Structure 1
Amino acid sequence: MSRPVDGGRGGNTARPDQRVDPDVDLRLPADRGELAAHPGGVLGTVAAGGALGALARAGVAYAVPHQPAAFGWATFAVNVSGCFLIGVLMAALPRIGRGRPLLRPFLGVGVLGGYTTYSTYAVDVQRAFAAGAPVTALAYLGATVVGALLAVWLGDTATGRLLHAADQAGGRR
């Protein structure tokens, strides 16, 4: 028994117990056929982007260290800025991604996936609790969730409006 992996649009199928990430699915459903020209390239592209994103994150963490009981400003800044950039990317991809099938896996999954770090965020919160700073831990916990959600909305909304204004100025509709 199988089910469509692409929401019923006629692509490949997977066993019901399989979960598929559309950014790294190597079975190439019909609507992602343009990736067929890059067999094996998706994972390499994601890995290269992830390495760049992780290096950027590590640089920020090194530049702005914090004690266990303190607010994790470096991790907070990385996660919120990464979410903002994810919003920008998702709004811009329909325009800039045409003909570049590896752009989304490279930037979205790779660079921004490697840059943002919710595992470090969870460890920072746990360490703050363990260090006897529950108010800091809870503030950090809540501020990151709210900040990340607002950032992705702002990135998407602002980019969408800028692109729309550029289309209007250029005479496109």
Structure 2
Amino acid sequence: MPPLLLVMLGGAIGAGLRYQISRFALQIMGSGFPWGTWIINLVGGLLMGILVGALSGDPVGTAPLRLLLGAGVLGGFTTFSAFSLETVGMLQAGGHVMAAAYAVSSVAGSVVLCIIGLFIGRALA
């Protein structure tokens, strides 16, 4: 199967899972805290670590599986999984300051840009 189709198929699965888990968390835990997103982001980071760890022995032979499950399913499930993997890579390489700067700037930057995007979107509406 072409790489793009693997990623697209996995992305559809991941996005569907994210939607269902978010709905379930909202029904069970209420709307006082973004439990669905929090759970998804933490689970996504865990699953990305498991995937990369499990497939690290044969990077060439497992490329289709990495595309389907990593870029596809986990990418559609949450981009936080990729962020987690990148941060862990920096930590493992000894780049503690870089990892901290990346983590803080990614989270804070995303929140600030989301606020800016809300203002832009409302202005265009």
TM-score range (shorter-chain normalised) is 0.5 to 0.7
Match for residue 110 of structure 1 among 61, 69, 72? 72
Contact 2:14 2:75 in 1 (8 A): yes
By relative contact order (CA 8 Å, sep 6+), the higher-ranking structure is 2
The one-letter code of the counterpart of 2:49 is G
| Cα distance between partner residues in 2 of 1:81 and 1:96 | 24
Match for residue 101 of structure 1 among 41, 63, 74? 63
> Is 1:42 the equivalent of 2:7?
no
Task: Tell me which residue corresponds to 2:40.
Answer: 78
| Cα distance between partner residues in 2 of 1:43 and 1:91 | 23
Structure 2 unaligned residues grouped into runs of 5+: 89-125
Contact 2:55 2:62 in 1 (8 A): no
Task: Tell me which residue corresponds to 1:52.
Answer: 13
SS of equivalent to 1:57: helix
| Cα distance between partner residues in 2 of 1:100 and 1:86 | 14
TM-score (norm 1): 0.42
Match for residue 23 of structure 2 among 28, 44, 62? 62
Count of aligned pairs: 83
Deviations 1:23-75 (A, max 9, x none): xxxxxxxxxxxxxxx5xx111000000011111111101111143xx210111
Q: Report % sequence identity.
A: 37
Contact 1:64 1:74 in 2 (8 A): yes
| Cα distance between partner residues in 2 of 1:44 and 1:50 | 10
| Cα distance between partner residues in 2 of 1:61 and 1:76 | 9
| Cα distance between partner residues in 1 of 2:79 and 2:66 | 19
| Cα distance between partner residues in 2 of 1:88 and 1:96 | 14
Structure 1 unaligned residues grouped into runs of 5+: 1-37, 119-147, 154-173
TM-score (norm 2): 0.56
Contact 1:42 1:105 in 2 (8 A): yes
